A = this chain, B = another copy of it.
Amino acid sequence: MATSGAPHMRRRIAALSLAWWRFTRTDAAIHHARTMGTCANCVVYDASGNLEDTQEPIHEMMTDDVVHARLLAAPVNPADVNAVQGKYPSAPTPPAVGGLEGLFEITKVTNATRGWSVGDKAIAINSTHGTWRTHGTFASQGALVKVHPETDVAFGATLKVTFATAHTMLRKYFLETCERYKGSVVVTGANSHVGRATLQLCSAWGIRTFGTARDDREDWKELQQELTELGGGTDMCTVVPSGSLRDARRASSYPPAVLCVDGVGGDAAREAIAILADSGTHVVYGGMSRKPVTVGAGSLIFRDVSVRGFWMTRWYKEANFSEVQAMVDDLVHLHREGHLVAGAVVRRPLCAESVREGMASPPRGTKLLLVPQCD
């Protein structure tokens, strides 16, 4: 409140910058595109975090190395909100179209566009593209990953961030390293979207889980039951209030807890680390408590516990396309086999107002899904 005029100036510069960005899309081009009916409605953010609806012409010229696609749905993830607020490390320089993931349907191909047909469904995996757009032109190789046409829209639209994070973390820190050990997994913030995805994947793979969540809510019993079922039922999954993990571990006959998948930090991380077995790994993918992870020297030295971080965006940058395709294929397969279901979503029209509303009062326990109003 008492700061100098700097924020004001920043806002003005950002507004000018946005105006300039829109100008470069040329009114002539947008007019032409509108006339031809091939203009994308987009939600754009500027350097001050202002959100605006804008339009972007779709390239009319089709070449063999691009496909056209229309959006089916794109979520508003915490990472998207951070990007809008200028707090996400790998977000494109604003002004930029928001959205790091989305499910699209292919609308236009050439005879030479190998591998794609009109009507195919695909996930955008190039995170700098901006998925809050009704339409987009994508490179035909490397920008989209095809998914089964019967993939549920909410599942497909939230696969690249939520389910992929759980899948890749578990593969990297459990399946590829601990398989012989046959241990169990601890999930903090088990009611989060990644938490739920982790419980479901562990259940699908026969891994027992301890889930924790805050019980300062009226519907705790229902939540506990719902999460337990996602984790495979009471023989496979134990869900307890934060602070009760040590007792739950003592009372349980589950194998040693070799991995904690932590999206919370703070106290939740501390109690999870306390029950990790020797040489267990604590992997942090989020910090919902906004508190750091604290670990005693004794746990590190004598119990060989290690604390790691996991960032799905880094994985996408480092993976080759076939690895991404294999991961997506596996998730869609598990989804179609009934092992994975999308979390609860709230559908809203694709516009700046929807995003603003979602950011101001995020829908508890649900994910905001932006869907085009008309196609």
Once the chains are docked, how many angstroms separate the CA of A308 from the CA of B305?
Answer: 7
Interface string of A284-328 (1 = CB under 8 A from B): 111100001111111111111111111100100000000000000
Closest to A300 in B: B309
**Contact assessment for B304 and A299 in the assembled complex, using a CB-CB cutoff below 8 Å:** no
**Contact assessment for A286 and B293 in the assembled complex, using a CB-CB cutoff below 8 Å:** no
- Tell whether A294 pairs with B293 under 8 Å between CB atoms, given A306-B307, A309-B302: yes
Copies of this protein chain in the complex: 2
Report, as a range, how many residues of chain A touch the other chain: 20 to 34
Indicate whether A338 reaches chain B with its CB closer than 8 angstroms: no
Once the chains are docked, how many angstroms separate the CA of A294 from the CA of B267?
Answer: 12
Other-chain residue from B286, B306, B309 in contact with A309 (beta carbon distance below 8 A): B306
Closest to A301 in B: B309
Other-chain residue from B286, B301, B309 in contact with A299 (beta carbon distance below 8 A): B309
Interface of chain A, main secondary structure: mixed
Closest to A312 in B: B301
- On chain B, the residues within 8 Å of A297 by CB distance are 265, 284, 286-287, 292-293, 309
- Tell whether A306 pairs with B308 under 8 Å between CB atoms, given A296-B287, A300-B284: yes
Ranked 5 nearest A-B pairs via Cβ? A300-B309, A287-B297, A307-B307, A301-B309, A284-B300
6 contacting pairs across A/B (C-beta < 8 A): A89-B302, A286-B301, A287-B297, A293-B296, A301-B310, A302-B311
* Further pairs besides A306-B306, A306-B309: 20, Cβ < 8 Å: A89-B302, A265-B297, A286-B297, A286-B301, A292-B297, A293-B295, A293-B297, A294-B294, A295-B295, A295-B307, A299-B309, A300-B307, A300-B308, A300-B309, A301-B309, A303-B309, A304-B311, A304-B314, A305-B309, A307-B308
